[in-house]
Structure 1
């Protein structure tokens, strides 16, 4: 009964999404990687842009990491971009450029866990593999009136077992997508729309009147406060940037030379002992500078941190500083970059905001001698 009602509802109410146009495993994998902790509305433009740049496994596998990160830029969770890139390389090298339809082989791909493997196998190959993610988990929990903490091992096991029993031998991909779609459009986290739900008559939580209490809310820890500082060092129309090495947060990304000042150190910007901004820039890029003054402060969130970044205008101390910078600890490159070329570099979301702000006010930059 659940299968028929849900599939009928999905057939008439499903959203038109670019990765639903066919059963292409590549498009499904890209969409699933992008949808991790991101909304469908946010993903659609990034998905289309990414597919324009890399239409298949072969083109993605052949691309260098810089191009992949640039195509992903703005979506966040860049570890997923690297995992997708690695998965494409694995598929080309080990599977002749074709997504395998073997469950073990799919689960062995970089970045592919139990949920994503089920999504690929059911949607691309119509294999009766279950899925449990945020939306379908909520639907299942309400159908079963599961009042446990859904992050607990027992609750997760119960929901996965229920999903495995429900997934049909045919139309498995449509059924799994229908579960997710129902959670996204009807069985929402707050004030679920039970009156229009196709499963309302068989929902145990609704029968008991506890649908608003499921899933049980778990308090989130307050974000950890961090303070950083960076230098906007100008030499004519060129700006000093450094590129972070690997591993670590923002590996391969360009940034204005940045040091850690207070709180935990999410990106490894500390030198082990406190240093000022001028000394920090010298260590990061080999350029002696003089900091002129604060030009902008911005805040941004990353994982469990809330960061305040103070940007200071700065200038090289002498004409000799125009020589090629030398990357320091944790950096793979350092360079003078034409201001007009900032958009060509891969920057974090905070880096792009800062770049846009300082480009709009070039008079605020620190100026080099001469």
Structure 2
């Protein structure tokens, strides 16, 4: 008989896990109350991101947008700026769209119907369960990375846990476990156990509150479970950008959509080698930097030396970005150079104004490099 088929097993896991959670739970800001808006924000932020990384962003974001109405009323650029640095900007747009849908379709209050919550932009089965259980104590199950690992070990699920049949079993087990009292606390306890004790490698079984109910531990399979698909190797990408300086100002481009960083500002950038993770389009393959900048901005430039290189990861790509100093080509009679006849919105920006623009983390790193040695880029000290 499978462990989850025994009522005593289910009751024992619930009881011991809740007792552990009452003592060991972390004082996270979205746990201060049962506000469904704060829970929605936290869950959107926590997608593929650690709790430690999210806390400071969460506090700043809800200070800027304290409720659904204020978030729904904001323009997208302001929302992206508040999210800046956290990554996965598609989630910021989905959160913004979800707030607008709740205001428009549900009178500004989070619906309690699971189907209505799952219909919100960016909200799938797991996130709907997290919101409904934590905010309203509805017995909705959750299966995400941490809880999936705990559940797979508890019932010794040996199949690849991202495939249909094993995953369906874990959802079924989660549904049976959450059916008791304190559904929201139980779901949080399940995730907390995965984060603090039931680690991907070297789980801390000796201090686990449900070790005696764990089938994987009984069979000595903690290291083999959960079984995950093989990781896909990162694809290598090369890009180049120009830090174009004229009269102490820097040429910046606002990226058009759609694409990974649509609406973000960046130093004019061309894609050189490998797949384009940003989906810029329009420039063609391997265009040189001078022609690329002209096509993007309408500004003819002279590319100088390579001043700085950085690497960064985005989704399944590993990107190397080479940044070159550059200047505009001399203009007859010293005419004022006005960008804007290119493919993208462009503007000259004072160095101190760069911090006001919404940029990717890689863009921010390049700004820091420029500020640390402005003379190398042709800027005043």
What TM-score do you get using the length of structure 1 for normalisation?
0.96
Q: Distance in 2 between matches of 1:239 and 1:321?
A: 17
Q: Distance in 2 between matches of 1:228 and 1:249?
A: 15
CA displacement at 1:322 relative to structure 2: 3.7
SS in 1 for 2:242: strand
Counterparts of residues 17-28 of structure 1 (less than 5 Å): 17-28=28-39
1:338 maps to 350
1:31 maps to 42
CA displacement at 1:366 relative to structure 2: 4.4
Q: Distance in 1 between matches of 2:335 and 2:117?
A: 52
2:377 maps to 365
Q: Distance in 1 between matches of 2:227 and 2:189?
A: 23
1:268 maps to 279
Give the RMSD, CA atoms, in angstroms.
Answer: 1.4
1:245 maps to 256
CA displacement at 1:216 relative to structure 2: 2.1
SS in 2 for 1:74: coil
1:199 maps to 210
2:337 maps to 323
CA displacement at 1:95 relative to structure 2: 1.2
Is the deviation greater in 271-280 or in 65-74? 271-280
1:119 maps to 130
Q: Distance in 2 between matches of 1:156 and 1:129?
A: 16
1:170 maps to 181
Deviations 1:283-336 (A, max 9, x none): 00000110111111111111111111010100011246743211633x3x1000
Q: Which of residues 101, 119, 144 is equivalent to 1:108?
A: 119
Please tell me whether the aligned partners of residues 288 and 321 of structure 1 are also in contact (alpha carbons under 8 angstroms): no
Q: Distance in 2 between matches of 1:47 and 1:269?
A: 30
Q: Distance in 1 between matches of 2:318 and 2:169?
A: 35
CA displacement at 1:215 relative to structure 2: 1.2
1:208 maps to 219
1:295 maps to 307
1:83 maps to 94
2:66 maps to 55
Q: Distance in 2 between matches of 1:121 and 1:277?
A: 51
Q: Distance in 2 between matches of 1:121 and 1:148?
A: 29
SS in 1 for 2:104: helix
1:181 maps to 192
Would the alpha carbon gap of residues 55 and 113 (structure 1) be closer, same or farther in structure 2, given more than 3 Å must change?
same
Please tell me whether the aligned partners of residues 127 and 170 of structure 1 are also in contact (alpha carbons under 8 angstroms): no
SS in 2 for 1:110: coil
1:277 maps to 289
Q: Which of residues 150, 159, 163 is equivalent to 1:139?
A: 150
Please tell me whether the aligned partners of residues 243 and 326 of structure 2 are also in contact (alpha carbons under 8 angstroms): yes
Please tell me whether the aligned partners of residues 259 and 280 of structure 2 are also in contact (alpha carbons under 8 angstroms): no
Would the alpha carbon gap of residues 367 and 357 (structure 1) be closer, same or farther in structure 2, given more than 3 Å must change?
closer
Identify unmatched segments of 5+ residues in structure 1. Answer: none
Q: Distance in 1 between matches of 2:198 and 2:379?
A: 57
Q: Distance in 2 between matches of 1:170 and 1:103?
A: 18
Q: Which of residues 229, 232, 236 is equivalent to 2:243?
A: 232
Identify unmatched segments of 5+ residues in structure 2. Answer: 1-11
CA displacement at 1:218 relative to structure 2: 3.4
Q: Distance in 2 between matches of 1:229 and 1:347?
A: 16
Please tell me whether the aligned partners of residues 25 and 120 of structure 1 are also in contact (alpha carbons under 8 angstroms): yes
